[in-house]
Amino acid sequence: MGLDEKGITLAEVTNRYPRSFQTLGYDVLMDVDDYNKPKVISTFEMCVNAILTLLKMKPGQYPSIPELGIDVEKYLHEYADDPDIPNEIKTKLYDQCNRLMTIDITIDVFVEHDNDGTNALIVEVEGSDTLTYGEESSTVIIGITYDKLNRLYTRKVYTK
């Protein structure tokens, strides 16, 4: 049986992510899980992916919604000097993804200074225990900085 013949049933999804906990539903990725079935992610992980997309997206990228996107890369040269930038990014995230407040997700944005002089913008996303049921963690830390070749670098780590 080929990969395209293997499906996933709603009962399998509901077993991992009970419907009562997934206020926005589920999302299916163009990827497969460990059992070669379509990979399904929870509301919490959907929101984390939406936050990452908004952070990297430039305003005007979608002509029908020209204000959508934060373009975090433009802030990376300034955020260490301007203490208002983390709050500005946080406000834009809540404005552009207003469902986050209704489903019990909190976001904190701050700058972390390393000993070697590198600065990283940190976005901490936390969900309630109910919302993150079936996930490995209820908190995700997203680090954003430049790598040694001056390219945008992001890393997502689940904690707690």
Backbone angles phi, psi at 38, to 5 degrees: -55, 135
pLDDT of res. 4: 46
| 122 in any annotated domain | yes
Q: How many helices (H) and strands (E) does the chain have?
A: 4, 6
| 23 in any annotated domain | no
Provide the edge-to-edge strand list for the sheet that holds 139-146.
105-113, 119-127, 139-146, 152-159
pLDDT of res. 5: 52
User: Which CATH number is 56's domain given?
Assistant: 3.10.450.40
| 97 in any annotated domain | yes
pLDDT of res. 26: 66
List all residues 6 or more positions away from 160 whose beta carbon is below 8 Å from its beta carbon: 137, 138, 139
pLDDT tens, per residue, the chain with 160 residues: 343 456 677 777 777 777 766 666 666 776 777 777 777 878 888 888 889 999 999 998 888 888 888 988 888 777 667 889 899 999 999 888 876 666 778 899 998 877 777 788 899 999 887 777 777 788 999 998 887 777 888 889 888 7
Q: DSSP 3-state assignment of 116? A: coil
One-letter amino acid identity for 132?
T
Q: What is the pTM of this model?
A: 0.78
Bridge partners of residue 32, in order along the sequence? 38
| 27 in any annotated domain | no
| 54 in any annotated domain | yes
| 124 in any annotated domain | yes
What span, in angstroms and rounded, lies between the C-alpha atoms of 97 and 54? 8
| 67 in any annotated domain | yes
Give the range of the structural domain holding residue 110, as residue numbers without chain letter.
41-159
Domain count, the chain: 1
**DSSP E strand stretches across 46-118:** 105-113
pLDDT of res. 90: 92
| 14 in any annotated domain | no
